[in-house]
Amino acid sequence: MGKLTSLEVTNLTSILNCFSYVSGLTINEAKSKVWFSANTSAGSKRILMNSFQVTEADADGKYLGCPIAVDSERSFDYLIEKFEKRLNHWKANFITHAGRLVLIESVLDSLPIYAMGTITVPRKVIVKLTAIARNFFWGGKHDKKSLAYVA
């Protein structure tokens, strides 16, 4: 957006109003948040938030399910939690290795696809997700290392 001035706020308001008029769509202030760069002053933030009746997004906020600011592997903990949550419901000791492979390939492998298509997922996170799937395949438990029968 550039430097925040009252003229820019007025222009942005005008653009959004024109869009709303033409499309019939409006901004839902209750669901809308704004994310500022680190060098935005508190006064500028206040002006913009008051003008649009929105709140400030958290630094660890998400947009369409993906983290807005990727600062470390911690930003992708939600992917690891998704894997583990899904595996907690599966009773692997009642599933054959072929069944486990089908579950991994059809369900687990599809979970991070959107995130991987929108942002670069760190290699350490991919290694961790692979380890979780591998442990489930060989041992039936995602949280314990198991003996692999094939190298």
Please write the tens of the pLDDT for every residue from 114-125: 888 877 888 888
* Same domain? 51 vs 83: no
148 or 74: whose pLDDT is higher?
74
* Same domain? 49 vs 90: no
Domain membership of residue 144 (yes or no) is no
Mean pLDDT of the chain: 79
* Same domain? 85 vs 53: no
Domain membership of residue 113 (yes or no) is yes
* Same domain? 44 vs 17: yes
Counting the structural domains of the chain, the total is 2
Q: Provide CB contacts within 8 A for 111, sequence distance 6+.
A: 79, 82, 83, 86
State the pTM of this model: 0.59
pLDDT level of residue 71 (50, 70, 90 thresholds): low
Q: Measuring CA to CA, which residue among 90, 100, 17 is closest to residue 51?
A: 17
Please give the residue range of the domain that contains residue 98: 70-139
Q: Measuring CA to CA, which residue among 33, 84, 79 is closest to residue 59?
A: 33
| pLDDT value at residue 60 | 65
